[in-house]
A and B are shown apart, each in its own frame.
Chain A
Amino acid sequence: MLTNKVFIRKNKRGNVLKIIREHYLRTDLWCGSCCCIICPHEKHDLILAENPPSKSSIFKEPHYLMVDTNVILDQIDVFEEDVISNVIIVQTVIDEVKHRSSAIYKRLRDILTNPARKFYTFVNEHHRDTYIEREQKESSNDRNDRAIRKAALWYQNHLNKSTKESKKPKITIILLTDDAENRRKAQEEDKLVSCSVQTYVRSLSEHPYLQDKLCIKEYASESDKHPVYPPHLTVVQMHEGIKSGKLYQGSFVASRENFLEGSVNVECFEKFILVQGREALNRAIDGDTVCVELLPENEWTCPSEIVLEDNENDPIVETIEEDENEKILKESASKKQEKQPTGKIVGIIKRKWRQYCGILKPNEIKGTSRHIFIPAERKIPRVRIETRQAEKLYSKRIIVAIDQWPRHSRYPQGHFVRALGPLGDKETENEVLLIEHDVPHSKFSQEVLNCLPSLPWIISEQDYKERVDLRKIAICSVDPPGCTDIDDALHSRLLPNGNIEVGVHIADVSHFIRPGTAIDKEAASRATTVYLVDKRIDMVPELLSSNLCSLRGNVERFAFSCIWELDKNANIIATKFHKSVIKSKAALTYEEAQLIIDDKNKNDDIAKSLRRLNELAKILKRRRTENGALVLASPEIRFHIDSETNDPIEVAVKQLRETNSMVEEFMLLANVSVAEKIEKEFPEHAMLRRHPIPPQTNFEPLIKAVRHQGFDIDTSSGKHLAISLDNIVKDDNPYFNTMLRILATRCMLQAVYFISGTLTRSEFFHYGLAAPIYTHFTSPIRRYADIIVHRLLAACIGADSTYADLLDKTKNSLLCNNLNYRNRMAQYAGRASVALNTHLFFRNRSEEVEGYVLFVRKNALQILVPKYGLEGTIYLSGKNINAKFIYNEENQSQQCENIVFHSFDPVIVRLSLDSTNVQHEKLVFELVKPFIEGFSIQSNDNVMEIDETPQSPTMKRKPMEEAVAVGSGKKAGNKKKKK
């Protein structure tokens, strides 16, 4: 059964190595076809249909498809469609796909493991009759192509023999390849049937829409067309350039505000390398790893600080002349003083293309199949696609994938993937923002649901024995109203020695989610529960999140308890951890808890317990602030949602009560205690959370802004910053301090999870909390990191055993990366959801509210509206703005006649929704006050009283005609005419 083939490989890593590996060739690999009578198949091997119905108009006879590697890599979207079935994928292709793109490999694997799709894997590399050795002077690509042809030929002969004997209808093998040479060889040398994917898909006449999903890549040269962009360097040239220090490698970040600008983050530079202009950007798309060349120092510029959006119509003839936008950009950039390293992109090292949501741009020419797709994400350029169903798609949100970006094309070329749903529909819009933020939101698979405990769930005797019984203690939970996933509860009681026992009880999720199970893998990949305004995307199925794990009132639940003995001054005397059974006496809201604390007449266990906790929390908080913990702010709002229509009917800024802070303090304390414990027990493997100290350069905008207000801010350490923030108060502007804190928050870096063994002890520091060590322990229902921490802690106290992956530093570091990424995305998705709801809220209404200038830009003012937590832009220059603004760079101000705008100045703006652009509904910010001739709009007296708001002395009013400026929710918008 075993045949042996020893083959030799040379491996270059400095020196040439001779590697000898065995390669066994087998005779027990079957063809997987139901019509075969030669192979002794097992039943589960029979995947390919006996008489596959042909859907193709060219190939009428029954056939199986075989494909080469590039077909899978380019056309995976087509192959994911159910129309295509009875396909043989050979091992050579799988190996190559795996090597080239792990994302596509994963998708291919999903297709292969789905028996309904009838995709058969033929291990040709280990089959005695189909294995071939690489010939002399043959490239490995050619060898692989030959191996695929060999396998196809074997199949054809094998099936012919089989069908001849059994007198069944003949089955043809069709080799799909886009490589003309390969096709020729298959047809001429091997007498196989072969065609390109395009030809085949076009011949599927019953499924015309499949054509839209074709990826159109031209492998041929582009010489006959006029190039718009300079060519990219080859891999070898880039490699040599980087090695010699002439070129730099980094990840490209496109500017959200200006489509002709971006920057490259290169490791060896402190600042980003700026890239400006279409040619310098040279087809890089946000996220790509690119190769940049620095321009000579006299050509360096600085960020233009203007907002530009690509509004041009797609020119039929591509031009290389500088267009208007580019001129504006050049002019605005050239005058600046502070120059920044500037470069141009000379090559792309790795594309990071994904699928993009967006809409189709209506085409003026009717009946054409070429269209322009406008992505929802502003950082992404428009994409050219071909579709025959444009009429149907105009009113829909669609997903498009980019295929390539040739030199002669202004925009990248892509293909249609699928439609999401009608525009403006809330479900669709939610779907868009989930996809755009890469949030896994499909329903839980059956495999995952099978891991759930069966109902009714009963606590067994064994469980009681293993856990500490805390059912009699007056434990209660305090959460926001409407919270169903309660993961923490608290208690406190007086000890005989006068000290206080405080317990934090966290839902014991790790009891239900066992390592290595499907539910565990799913939770690890989701990493966090995502909260949208009207929707929650759970990390674990609802049965766990809202029922079995949730520490609801008056039911027995498993908990992981952290119990301290504290003295009167909140010093920790002793700490212990154990698993327990609890029965929460009350599930309170922050408001209810506050009422109980304040109500002097209540003196039951819970009231006493809460009061004690509240007192201790105050001490803890004071101590923490003294240590330099920062109190930061972000404009957070809540929507009151209409229960019938699910539309937001009211917006309110989130309220903070004492009880919020009380719960927070004890959660922080628990997290710190657990972090210390697991780090001590597992110095190499503990999962912790750190908040890096931001570099001083991050604070520059803050320092600048404050200086113009006549204050100085000390950002040298967290403590100094906290003190500065407390001291800078303006009596005439009560919101000033909050704005400072909002700005300070933006200077911070993201807090991240990490594994203790990968960093030195000093790097564990949590800047925001001023804690030397910190982790997440208290929300295992909604965060995966907490589950890992629970497992580690359980292992520490002997309540559970470890398992291989828990103590694998590399794997856990990868896990951390995923958690960090998903957390960031969840945060963005949450914000985007708020923005979306704000838009819904402003549909058919406009309002005049007070706002503040947050930043002064060269051609715009950025305005913050505290009432709605909104940020928007008012453009100061443009086609129909008559007022002339003078930008003063020195003190960051804009002047129009005698009205001057500084950062933090209060203004009155009118908010309304501009729905002219269906894709990006925009909140329009129009200046009402101070009134500027030719710029501001008249106030509508019926909306609200505006004279009560404080005014900056520099502002004066002048009545004048109307003009418009536009802004959107969170991001800066584009110039747009309104009337």
Chain B
Amino acid sequence: MAQELLSLQGLRIDGRRQNELRQIQCRLGVLERCDGSAYMLHGNTKVIASISGPKHPTKNSANKNRGGDEFIFNVRVKFATFSKNGERQKVVKNSKKLGEIEINLKNIFKSVILVEKYEKSQLDLNIEILQTDGSEICTVVNAATLALIDAGICMKEYICACTASLTNDGVALLDVSHLEEICGGPTLTIAALPRTGDHEQSVAYVELSQKFYLKDLNKIFDCALMGCEKIRGILDEAIRSNAFELVNSELTNN
């Protein structure tokens, strides 16, 4: 590993400290034609998520579902050609990697959406990744949460995702950038429901990119969960200010 992930002065390559998130900016309702949408900037990772539905199942989906009454939830993820560092890349549709992300997202959100309310209906989540700089899955999950809320879908809780990594000396690093990902440490991705009423945090999704030693798991897990809590605060604030703006504009219009 050429670069030290954490300098002697306790700063990471990009100048953050060990437990700091990158900058997060988000907006709700960025697109007009869909039922709900959100834009999310996390470090240099940019994502737009849009929701269409709940609506009548299209013929296609209904067929797939064999005419059952279940809630149909479709997820589509797309990387923009210009999203990665370096040259433009060919967009591969239906690749294995994308398919895996889509299935994961489906499972994550099915666990928080109040499915029983949406029987016999269909919900489509479309994700466009405009730019990548590490922790893409997190950004996607966070953006999708915002889009779902913007669309007014009933959910148990916010679902927030965050990554954490580990330096050689066993210090946990919060929110991994692309450079830190390729520099070698293991990356843990967590999607969590920070608080559900009186209940404790619960985790909806965990992914590990590499092997590491079991004794470090708690450290890295706690670090990522702390990140989720922080992100929840940011999302909450964005949603509240968006709601406030909506109410304000409604009031002024009337």
Residue ranges of A at the interface with B (Cβ–Cβ < 8 Å): 2, 4, 6, 15, 17-26, 91, 109, 112-113, 121, 123, 125-126, 803-804
Can you give 25 contacting A-B residue pairs, CB < 8 Å?
A2-B16, A2-B20, A2-B23, A6-B44, A15-B87, A17-B85, A17-B86, A17-B87, A19-B86, A20-B85, A20-B133, A21-B14, A21-B133, A21-B177, A21-B179, A22-B43, A23-B14, A23-B15, A24-B15, A26-B15, A109-B8, A112-B8, A123-B7, A123-B11, A123-B15
B224 to chain A, nearest CB (A): 20
Q: In whole angstroms, what is the CA distance A149 to B133 when docked? A: 33
Instruction: Considering the complex, give the chain A residue whose CB is closest to the CB of B210.
Output: A804
A514 to chain B, nearest CB (A): 13
Q: Is chain B's binding surface mostly helix, strand, loop or mixed?
A: loop
Check B9 for interface membership: any CB of A closer than 8 A.
Answer: yes
Residues of A within 8 A of B87 (CB): 15, 17
Would you call A803 and B213 a contact (CB within 8 A)?
Answer: yes
Q: In whole angstroms, what is the CA distance A224 to B20 when docked? A: 58
Would you call B8 and A22 a contact (CB within 8 A)?
Answer: no
A279 to chain B, nearest CB (A): 39
> What 0/1 readout, one digit per residue, does chain B (30-72) give for beta carbons within 8 Å of chain A?
0000000000000110000000000000000000000000000
> What 0/1 readout, one digit per residue, does chain B (152-193) give for beta carbons within 8 Å of chain A?
000000000000000000000000010100000000000000
Residues of B within 8 A of A121 (CB): 8-9
Would you call A126 and B133 a contact (CB within 8 A)?
Answer: no
Residue ranges of B at the interface with A (Cβ–Cβ < 8 Å): 7-9, 11, 14-16, 20, 22-23, 43-44, 85-87, 133, 177, 179, 211-213
Would you call A22 and B86 a contact (CB within 8 A)?
Answer: no
B3 to chain A, nearest CB (A): 10
Residues of B within 8 A of A19 (CB): 85-86
Q: In whole angstroms, what is the CA distance A415 to B16 when docked? A: 41
Residues of A within 8 A of B212 (CB): 804
Q: Which of A22, A126, A804 contacts B213 (CB 8 A)?
A: A804
Q: In whole angstroms, what is the CA distance A2 to B14 when docked? A: 11
Q: In whole angstroms, what is the CA distance A24 to B17 when docked? A: 10
B208 to chain A, nearest CB (A): 14
Q: Which of B9, B20, B23, B85 contacts A4 (CB 8 A)?
A: B23
Q: In whole angstroms, what is the CA distance A158 to B20 when docked? A: 27
Residues of B within 8 A of A21 (CB): 14, 44, 133, 177, 179
Would you call A18 and B14 a contact (CB within 8 A)?
Answer: no
The 4 closest A-B pairs by CB, nearest first: A24-B15, A126-B15, A17-B86, A22-B14
A216 to chain B, nearest CB (A): 31
Q: In whole angstroms, what is the CA distance A125 to B87 when docked? A: 29
Q: In whole angstroms, what is the CA distance A655 to B14 when docked? A: 64
Q: In whole angstroms, what is the CA distance A804 to B15 when docked? A: 27
Would you call B44 and A22 a contact (CB within 8 A)?
Answer: yes
Q: In whole angstroms, what is the CA distance A121 to B43 when docked? A: 27
11 A-B pairs besides A17-B85, A24-B16, A26-B15 with CB distance below 8 A are: A2-B20, A4-B23, A15-B87, A20-B44, A20-B85, A21-B14, A22-B22, A22-B44, A24-B15, A25-B15, A803-B213
Residues of A within 8 A of B211 (CB): 804
Would you call A18 and B85 a contact (CB within 8 A)?
Answer: yes
B60 to chain A, nearest CB (A): 39
A920 to chain B, nearest CB (A): 43
Instruction: Considering the complex, give the chain B residue whose CB is closest to the CB of A19.
Output: B85
Instruction: Considering the complex, give the chain A residue whose CB is closest to the CB of B20.
Output: A2
Residues of A within 8 A of B15 (CB): 23-26, 123, 125-126
Would you call B8 and A113 a contact (CB within 8 A)?
Answer: yes
Residues of A within 8 A of B213 (CB): 803-804
Residues of B within 8 A of A113 (CB): 8
Residues of B within 8 A of A24 (CB): 14-16
Q: In whole angstroms, what is the CA distance A25 to B43 when docked? A: 14
Q: In whole angstroms, what is the CA distance A4 to B14 when docked? A: 10
B21 to chain A, nearest CB (A): 9
Instruction: Considering the complex, give the chain A residue whose CB is closest to the CB of B7.
Output: A123
A706 to chain B, nearest CB (A): 51
Residues of B within 8 A of A803 (CB): 213
Q: In whole angstroms, what is the CA distance A650 to B23 when docked? A: 76
Q: In whole angstroms, what is the CA distance A134 to B174 when docked? A: 30
Residues of B within 8 A of A18 (CB): 85-86
Q: In whole angstroms, what is the CA distance A109 to B9 when docked? A: 12
Residues of A within 8 A of B23 (CB): 2, 4, 22
Would you call B14 and A123 a contact (CB within 8 A)?
Answer: no
Q: In whole angstroms, what is the CA distance A113 to B212 when docked? A: 29
Q: In whole angstroms, what is the CA distance A18 to B85 when docked? A: 7
Would you call B9 and A123 a contact (CB within 8 A)?
Answer: yes
Q: Which of B9, B11, B133 contacts A22 (CB 8 A)?
A: B133
Residues of A within 8 A of B16 (CB): 2, 24
B129 to chain A, nearest CB (A): 15
Q: In whole angstroms, what is the CA distance A837 to B44 when docked? A: 67
Most B-side CB within 10 Å, residue of A15, A22, A113: A22
Residues of A within 8 A of B22 (CB): 22
Residues of B within 8 A of A6 (CB): 44
Residues of B within 8 A of A2 (CB): 16, 20, 23
Most B-side CB within 10 Å, residue of A17, A113, A125, A804: A804
Instruction: Considering the complex, give the chain B residue whose CB is closest to the CB of A811.
Output: B1
Instruction: Considering the complex, give the chain B residue whose CB is closest to the CB of A126.
Output: B15
B81 to chain A, nearest CB (A): 14
Instruction: Considering the complex, give the chain A residue whose CB is closest to the CB of B131.
Output: A20
Q: In whole angstroms, what is the CA distance A24 to B179 when docked? A: 14
Q: In whole angstroms, what is the CA distance A675 to B234 when docked? A: 56
Q: In whole angstroms, what is the CA distance A311 to B143 when docked? A: 79
Q: In whole angstroms, what is the CA distance A121 to B11 when docked? A: 12
Instruction: Considering the complex, give the chain A residue whose CB is closest to the CB of B214.
Output: A801
A2-B23, A804-B212 known; A126 vs B85 contact (CB < 8 Å): no
Q: In whole angstroms, what is the CA distance A741 to B11 when docked? A: 59
Residues of B within 8 A of A126 (CB): 11, 15
A410 to chain B, nearest CB (A): 40
Instruction: Considering the complex, give the chain B residue whose CB is closest to the CB of A805.
Output: B168
Q: Which of A22, A25, A26, A91 contacts B177 (CB 8 A)?
A: A22
Residues of A within 8 A of B177 (CB): 21-22
Q: In whole angstroms, what is the CA distance A20 to B86 when docked? A: 10
Most B-side CB within 10 Å, residue of A24, A109, A126: A24
A712 to chain B, nearest CB (A): 54
Q: In whole angstroms, what is the CA distance A125 to B22 when docked? A: 18
Q: In whole angstroms, what is the CA distance A803 to B8 when docked? A: 24
Residues of A within 8 A of B179 (CB): 21
Residues of B within 8 A of A123 (CB): 7, 9, 11, 15
B2 to chain A, nearest CB (A): 10
A802 to chain B, nearest CB (A): 9
Residues of B within 8 A of A20 (CB): 44, 85, 133
B111 to chain A, nearest CB (A): 32
Residues of B within 8 A of A17 (CB): 85-87
Most B-side CB within 10 Å, residue of A2, A121, A803: A2
A106 to chain B, nearest CB (A): 12
Q: In whole angstroms, what is the CA distance A941 to B175 when docked? A: 87
Residues of A within 8 A of B8 (CB): 109, 112-113, 121
Instruction: Considering the complex, give the chain B residue whose CB is closest to the CB of A123.
Output: B9
A9 to chain B, nearest CB (A): 10
Instruction: Considering the complex, give the chain A residue whose CB is closest to the CB of B169.
Output: A516
Q: In whole angstroms, what is the CA distance A235 to B8 when docked? A: 34
Q: In whole angstroms, what is the CA distance A91 to B4 when docked? A: 14
Q: In whole angstroms, what is the CA distance A670 to B23 when docked? A: 59
Q: In whole angstroms, what is the CA distance A17 to B84 when docked? A: 11
Residues of A within 8 A of B14 (CB): 21-24
Instruction: Considering the complex, give the chain A residue whose CB is closest to the CB of B166.
Output: A804
Q: In whole angstroms, what is the CA distance A126 to B10 when docked? A: 12
Q: In whole angstroms, what is the CA distance A19 to B20 when docked? A: 23
B95 to chain A, nearest CB (A): 23
A270 to chain B, nearest CB (A): 35
Q: In whole angstroms, what is the CA distance A448 to B161 when docked? A: 42
Most A-side CB within 10 Å, residue of B9, B44, B85: B9
Residues of A within 8 A of B7 (CB): 123
Q: In whole angstroms, what is the CA distance A363 to B214 when docked? A: 66
A325 to chain B, nearest CB (A): 46
